[in-house]
A and B are shown apart, each in its own frame.
Chain A
Amino acid sequence: MVNPINDWLTAKSDFPSWSTDLAEQTLLRHYHNPFLPERVLQNLVILQQLFGHISLPMQEWLSRKSGVHIADLRALISFYLFLEEAKPCRYHLRFADNIIEQHAGVNELIEQVKEKLCGCDCKIETTSCIGLSDHPVSLLVNGFPVTRLTADNVNDFCQLIRRGAPLQDWPRSWFAVNNLIRHKGPLTAYPYQAGQGIAQAKSLSREQIIDLIGDAGLRGMGGAGFPTAFKWHWCEQQNEPIKYIACNADEGEPGTFKDRYYLSQQTDQMIEGMIIAALAVGAVRGFIYLRGEYLYLYQPIEKGLQRWREQGYLNADFDIELHLGAGAYICGEESAMIESLAGKRGIPTPKPPFPGEKGLFDKPTVVNNVETFVAATYILQQGSKAFKSVGTEKSPGSRLHSVSGDCQQPGLYELPQGTPVRELLALCDAKDTLCVQAGGPSGALYLPHQFDTPLDFENPGRGGSVMVFNRSRSLMDITRNFIQFFRHESCGFCTPCRAGTVAMCNLLERYEHQPTLKEQNKSDMIELAQLMQQTSHCGLGKTAGLPILNFLNLVEHHE
């Protein structure tokens, strides 16, 4: 973790040919000791980005260097979508195909692009949500986002590819991500002073820091809503000299992009929050797990870490390492993330033990979402009273919502916890709304008669995403998109999720196309959704059937 200038992080369409020197230099520039077995996944991510693929000679070299068997490298490559063995095309297009992009016409655009680029050196694929639902249609080109591709500019876009224009020469504006906050609140608009929260934390005992967080009533903003102070306290109590802080920056829930804002605009608050957590529990090292789709944020975050190092806040006692994911939604699940941080396939591990007791490398680990760390910094700087002056009694504070879909003003809204759905719909100027999906596919579907439901931790759909659908939309399309997403993202570990997500897609297709067997198919789907909820190993499988239950609920409501 030496030089913030990393060649492998630049957008490019010409990949150098394989060279062990170049590979070794790049990895060495990144880590003092790059060939530890637990770094092997990060090394694969870097090689992928540098050379555009991970060929057999690269695998052989890395296996020799790290002592990790080549079969284990292949197991990683076969698990993480963004790692590829095949020789790269000059342009690899990955269109986001979340339902928001589907509604914005991504399928039609892909057809046009395919037609126009026939015979070009490019690969055209779809991928799950890339955290840009407020900029539809968006896609990743060689890992970097091109935002707002429309019928108007698709010709120019294809021209560039046909001409073979190097990616670094494409118009900068095409890569622009707008992080405008449409409704500000305490977390996004207070007079932040870098380091003041840490100074405050240093004047307190560990217990006092945790009490302050507890007094504010801060709860996990990733969606689980677990009391943060409890997590910190539990980790603090462990009699173990080595503890870790992990920041979950893998927001993969379709329709969610709130952390994108913090990661690009309030990096310092996030880093400061991690340092405060480290002081509170006595951690020696921190990790940020950044989703692979946010590759373009890697460099700004690394620069941010460098600033904190230069000022001495990050040092030999506590430093933070930035990790990059590689296209696996499941790695947002905390135990899967811990596995991935340790260089393994992202398979959730059984709980207990919980990370606070036995987490990364079997050491006590605090895992919190980006926004939770940002809020912790706020609490240390502004006090717990200021934090809980808004929100509800059980869900104090405010939070950022990612709003996308059928509204005039998609984007980011910071609102007090407990704000009713209706109020948010008015703010984003949504008309003729059929339903609202809060918290992504694994969250909740709200119908007009439920629009008074407060958005808080007491109600389902807590991940900070709100997708709005108007009456022109088909609920069948939405549901199909969601359950196909889960089929695609199941890690494959346990029976009900690995096989259940596939069976569910089959059942929905039957439901759609066999009108005479509707009742039978319906009861089969309900039973399967409940089976997955009841018997799955982790949260993904447990919630993967929810879109079906929501769908059938609404169909019933309409009939």
Chain B
Amino acid sequence: MFQLDGNPIAFSKGDSILQAAHKAGYYIPHLCFHPDFKAHGSCRLCVVDVKGKTVSACTQPAEDKLEVYSDTAELRQSRLRLIQLLFAEGNHYCPSCEVSGNCQLQALAYDLGMTHYHYDPFSPLRQQDGSHSQLFIDQDRCIQCDLCGRASQEQDLKSVYLLAGRGQDTHLAFRSHNGQLGSTNASMDDRAAHICPVGCILPKAGNYPDIAGERLYDKIPIHTQGNHRRDEGGQDEP
């Protein structure tokens, strides 16, 4: 057992703090974590305070009698700033975005009370990829969480997606000779095609199915609803 904001949480050996909290039905904000896949630790939204140190809950092993603090004013502010950095570094056009209302980045922004970018937008130029017959890649929205890479490798056993580049030029790449998604064996049936927490990996057909007001996060905030994809069914989260 460890304590999360004063609540006792049971865990199994090898669980991270986030895994254990997730199983127990407690929400710690996150974007790059998914219970089905290996932790990444890159988005840093799941930062928690442990023994006077701030660590990512998805990579920090749970330990007995640990006192973990997640829902503090300071950490909420840090998470807000991280979300704002993610918005500033990409090109996010929520009003016209296919996943608006179903987007985990947007939902967390609402949840954390984001009202503006705070940082000057970087307005990067990013290469798009429309080469695949069923999937479109909008790199403008990519947050480099590598969930697609992990899903493709660990579940689809295809290893289609990877991260390349360095620093602010880090970008999603595809394992094909010409570097295009269309030349890989990626398919709509892949788990990786339905794992993107934002609107980077999109189906070409069947977008905007829900009217505003009836989308995933329109009525229920992400801290209650959990991190889901509308097309994923949402069985995996509390």
Flag if B166 contacts A328 (CB, 8 Å): yes
Complex contacts, B179 vs chain A, CB 8 Å: 71, 74
> Smallest CB–CB gap between B103 and chain A, Å?
16
* Residue A493, interface by CB 8 Å: yes
CB of A495 within 8 A of CB of B44, answer yes
Which single member of B42, B88, B120, B164 contacts A537 (CB below 8 Å)?
A: B42
Contact of A499 among B45, B56, B89, B174 (CB under 8 A): B89
Which A residue's beta carbon lies closest to that of B119?
A503
Q: Which residue in B54, B119, B159 is a CB contact (below 8 Å) of A534?
A: B54
- Contact A506 to B42, CB < 8 A, known contacts A496-B82, A531-B81: no
Is B162 close to A, CB under 8 A?
Answer: yes
Contact digits for A510-527, partner B, Cβ 8 Å, 1 yes 0 no: 100000000000001001
Please determine whether A75 and B163 come into contact, CB atoms closer than 8 angstroms.
yes
- Chain A residues near B175: list those with CB within 8 A: 69, 71-72
List A66-107 residues whose CB lies under 8 Å from chain B.
69-72, 74-75, 78-81
Q: For residue A352, which residues in chain B have a CB less than 8 angstroms away from its CB?
A: 61
Cβ of A491 within 8 Å of any chain B Cβ, yes or no, is yes
Kindly list chain A residues whose C-beta atoms are within 8 Å of the C-beta of B119. Answer: 499, 503, 506-507
Task: Looking at the assembled complex, report how far the CB atom of A254 sits from the nearest CB atom of chain B, in whole angstroms.
Answer: 16
Instruction: Please name the residue on chain B nearest to A77 by beta carbon.
Output: B164
The 0/1 profile, CB within 8 Å of A marked 1, for residues 164-195 of chain B is 11111110011111010000000000000000
Q: Which residues of A contact B199 (CB under 8 A)?
A: none
In the assembled complex, which residues on chain A have CB atoms less than 8 Å from the CB atom of B166? 78-81, 328, 345, 490-492
Contacts of B168 in A (CB 8 A): 487, 490, 492, 498-499, 501-502
Say whether A75 contacts B42, CB under 8 Å.
Answer: no
Chain B min CB distance to A341 (Å): 18
Q: Which residues of A contact B78 (CB under 8 A)?
A: 531, 534-535
A528 interface contact, C-beta 8 A: yes
Assess the B120–A78 pair: CB atoms within 8 A. Answer: no
Interface residues of A in 480-500 (CB under 8 A from B): 487-496, 498-500
| A78, A495, A506, A536 — most chain B CB neighbours (10 Å) | A495
State whether the Cβ of A350 lies closer than 8 Å to any Cβ in chain B: yes
When the two chains form their complex, are residues B167 and A71 in contact, meaning their CB atoms are under 8 A apart? no
Q: Mark A328-340, 1 if CB is under 8 A from B, else 0.
A: 1000000000000
**Which of A71, A503, A534 is within 8 Å of B173, CB to CB?**
A71
- A72, A491, A531 interface centre (most CB from chain B within 10 Å): A531
Interface centre among B82, B164, B173 (most CB of A within 10 A): B164
- Is the C-beta of B122 less than 8 angstroms from some C-beta in chain A? yes
**A527 engages B89 (CB within 8 Å):** no
On whether the beta carbons of B164 and A494 are closer than 8 Å, the reply is no
Q: Contact between A78 and B82 (Cβ–Cβ < 8 Å)? A: no
Q: Are A495 and B86 in contact (CB under 8 A)?
A: yes
- Complex CA gap A79/B86 in Å reads 21
With the chains together, A75 CA to B170 CA distance in Å? 10
Whether A498 lies near B144 (C-beta < 8 A) is yes
Contact residues in B for A500 (Cβ distance below 8 Å): 85
CB distance from A513 to the nearest CB of B (A): 12
| A70 surroundings in chain B (CB, below 8 A) | 177
- B18 lies within 8 A of chain A by Cβ: no
**Which residues of B lie under 8 Å from residue A502 when comparing CB positions?**
89, 122, 168
Nearest to B49 among chain A residues (CB) is A534
Question: Bound complex: CA of A457 vs CA of B159, how far in Å?
Answer: 45
Cα–Cα distance between A363 and B168 once the two chains are bound (Å): 32
> With a CB–CB cut-off of 8 A, which chain B residues contact A69?
159, 175
Q: How large is the interface on A (under 10, 10 to 19, 20 to 34, 35 or more residues)?
A: 35 or more
Expressed in whole angstroms, the Cα–Cα distance for A417 and B114 within the complex equals 49
CB of B10, distance to nearest CB on chain A (Å): 21
In this complex, what residue of B is CB-closest to A81? B166
Question: Which of chain B's residues 82-125 have a Cβ closer than 8 Å to chain A?
Answer: 82, 85-86, 88-89, 118-120, 122
B222 at the interface (CB under 8 A from A): no
B61, B162, B167: the one within 8 Å of A488 (CB): B167
- Tell me, in angstroms, the Cα distance from A261 to B47 when the chains sit together: 41
Q: What's the Cα separation between A60 and B192 when bound, in Å?
A: 27
Interface centre among A79, A352, A489 (most CB of B within 10 A): A79
Interface membership of chain B positions 138-173, coded 1 if the CB is closer than 8 angstroms to chain A and 0 otherwise:
000001100000000000000100111111111001
Point out the residues of chain A lying under 8 angstroms from B177, CB to CB.
Answer: 70
User: Is the CB–CB distance between A494 and B47 below 8 Å?
Assistant: no
Name which of B43, B163, B176 has the most chain A CB atoms within 10 A of its CB: B163
* A479 and B164 alpha carbons, distance in the complex (Å): 29
Contacts of A79 in B (CB 8 A): 164-166
Q: Which of B81, B120, B166 neighbours the largest number of chain A CB atoms within 10 Å of its CB?
A: B166
Chain B residues with CB under 8 Å of A493's CB are 42, 144, 170
Q: Name B42's contact: one of A487, A490, A494, A534 (CB within 8 Å).
A: A494
Tell me the smallest distance from the CB of B152 to a CB of chain A, in Å. Answer: 12
Bound Cα distance A507, B164 (Å) = 27
Contact residues in B for A490 (Cβ distance below 8 Å): 166-168
Q: How far is the CA of A527 from the CA of B119 in the complex (A)?
A: 12
Which residues in B have their C-beta under 8 angstroms from that of A536? 44
Q: Does B39 contact A (CB under 8 A)?
A: yes
Task: Kindly state whether residue B70 has any CB partner on chain A within 8 Å.
Answer: no
B56 x A350 contact (CB < 8 A):
yes
Cβ of B162 and Cβ of A537 under 8 Å apart?
no
Contact A492 B44 (CB under 8 A): no
Q: How far is the CB of A434 from chain B (nearest CB, A)?
A: 31
Distance, CA A491 to CA B166, complexed state (A)? 5
List the A side residues contacting B169 at CB < 8 Å: 78, 492
A492→B85 contact, CB < 8 A: no
Q: Distance in Å from the Cβ of A381 to the closest Cβ of chain B?
A: 39
B197 on the A face (CB < 8 A) = no
Residue with the highest number of chain B CB atoms closer than 10 Å, among A489, A502, A528: A502
Kindly list the 3 A-B residue pairs having the minimum CB-CB distance in the complex, ordered from nearest.
Answer: A492-B170, A75-B164, A350-B59
Residue pairs across A and B with Cβ atoms less than 8 A apart, 28 shown, are A71-B173, A71-B176, A71-B179, A74-B164, A75-B173, A81-B166, A350-B39, A492-B144, A492-B165, A493-B42, A494-B44, A495-B85, A498-B144, A498-B168, A498-B170, A499-B85, A499-B122, A499-B168, A501-B168, A503-B85, A506-B119, A507-B119, A531-B78, A534-B54, A534-B78, A535-B44, A535-B54, A535-B78
Which residues of B are at the interface with A, using a C-beta cutoff of 8 A? 39, 41-45, 47, 54, 56, 59, 61, 78, 81-82, 85-86, 88-89, 118-120, 122, 143-144, 159, 162-170, 173-177, 179
Given contacts A490-B166, A506-B119, 18 further A-B contacts (CB under 8 A): A69-B159, A71-B164, A75-B173, A78-B166, A487-B168, A492-B168, A495-B45, A496-B44, A496-B85, A498-B89, A498-B167, A499-B86, A499-B119, A507-B119, A531-B78, A534-B78, A536-B44, A537-B56
